[in-house]
Amino acid sequence: MKARDIPNLISFLRILLTLPIVWLLFEQEFTYALMLFALAGFSDGLDGFLAKHFHWQSKLGGLLDPLADKALLMSSFLVLGALGLLPIWLVILVIFRDLLIMGGALYYNFSVEEVDANPSLISKLNTLLQILLVLLVVTDAGPYPIPSSVMSLLIWATLVTTVASGADYVWVWSHKAKVKGRHD
């Protein structure tokens, strides 16, 4: 192993961290789950910093980092929905959006050209809101109550950005596929 592999190792460990977080959520050990979420968040920032600062970016890292984020977010949404802490309709929408994007990316990658996945601003905002929602739901269920008005606002904001970012991905990548198809 070389130093340049450290960001990929951190991302891989973050994927593995999903398992105890999911278990803690199911066990309703919300304070401990929050601690591991904090560790996952720190590791996400650390691997990104190391990769960019030392120019250790790699194709594998470009896949592992978002995979780690999606694994943690999707599994957290599923568990929190199963526990009745998130509305099922929002869980379904978030999972559908991610599956649509992943399926579209795979199709584009194998049918058109290699995907250069740079998330849009609306997608970054959506991811931020999803993370914030999970953190506040777990905080509310565990150590500190969160006002219901804050939770409602965040649920609706997550709904809007989930739909908008999903539509944005479909429109942008469909357009790219059409343009690319005309030039080939």
Give tens-digit pLDDT for 40-62.
Answer: 989 998 998 999 999 999 988 88
Find, among 138, 151, 147, 145, the residue nearest to 30 by Cα.
Answer: 138
Q: Count the Cβ atoms, other than its own, within 10 Å of residue 40.
A: 21
Hey, CA dihedral for 138, 91, 117, 164, is it positive or negative? Answer: negative
Q: What is the DSSP letter of 171?
A: H
pLDDT at 182: 61
Share of the chain above pLDDT 90, in %: 72
Q: Average pLDDT, stretch 148-177?
A: 95
pLDDT at 96: 97
Please, is 4 exposed, middle or buried when counting C-beta atoms within 10 Å of its C-beta (0-12, 13-18, 19+)?
middle
CA distance 171 to 92: 21
pLDDT at 122: 96
Domain total of the chain: 1
Among 81-85, 97-101, 153-157, the range scoring the smallest mean pLDDT is: 97-101
- Residue 117 or residue 162, greater confidence: 162
Q: 99-124 pLDDT, tens per residue?
A: 999 898 888 888 888 877 778 999 98
CA distance 26 to 84: 11
| Domain ranges, residue 68 | 3-183
pLDDT at 90: 98
Q: CATH no. for residue 66?
A: 1.20.120.1760
Q: Average pLDDT, stretch 27-45?
A: 94
Residue 142 structure tokens:
């565990």
